[in-house]
Amino acid sequence: MQHKFITTVLGTLQPNLLQSLAQVSREIGASWETSKVIKLDGQFVAMMRVMIDVDKEASLKQALEQQFSQLTFVYAEFEHQSIHLSTECKLTLDCNDRSGLTHDINEILSDLDVSVDHQECYRVQVSSLGKTVYSAKMTLRLPENVTKALLVSQLETLSDNIRIDVTK
């Protein structure tokens, strides 16, 4: 019988580290159904949805933790949610920066039950404007009852000087 779970691994990035993790997983009989990796300033976080025979799961976790003792592993059950998400969209948001902006964006998304697949936020000092500009790039999944127009109208309440571009 096969079992699925989510593994999150974090630590200092080293050459061929992800390939080594994958190799150990394969040797024990696991497969990564999907994965996401974030690298930042020599650190990384990876999330993988792992499928393995139930009787090999403990061996896999033990092997990973022993062979990669410098890394932190966190495990969570895979729960396939039955939320009906009808539309994927990519959104770019640019505006003047202010305290609490990322929090306010996430509040709006949460209130609309929008799922965030990917989110990157940047703050850039623009000398010619004498201001800091906030830019966010997101991949979102909208529930059936939320249109792109509704999403944009809610996000536009964040600032008078906001530019939102939605594709897909």
Domains contained in the chain, CATH given: 2-77 (3.30.70.260), 85-167 (3.30.70.260)
What tens-digit pLDDT sequence spans the chain (168 residues)? 889 999 999 999 998 898 899 999 999 999 998 888 888 899 999 999 899 999 999 999 999 999 999 999 999 998 765 455 568 899 999 999 998 898 899 899 988 989 888 899 999 998 888 889 999 999 999 988 889 999 999 999 998 889 999 987
- CB half-sphere exposure, 56, CA atoms < 13 A: 18
Burial of 149 (0-12, 13-18, 19+ CB in 10 A): exposed
The 85-96 sheet, strands edge to edge: 115-126, 131-143, 85-96, 162-167
Query: What is the predicted pLDDT for the residue at 25?
Result: 94
pTM higher than 0.75, yes or no?
no
**Count of C-beta atoms within a 10 Å radius of residue 57:** 19
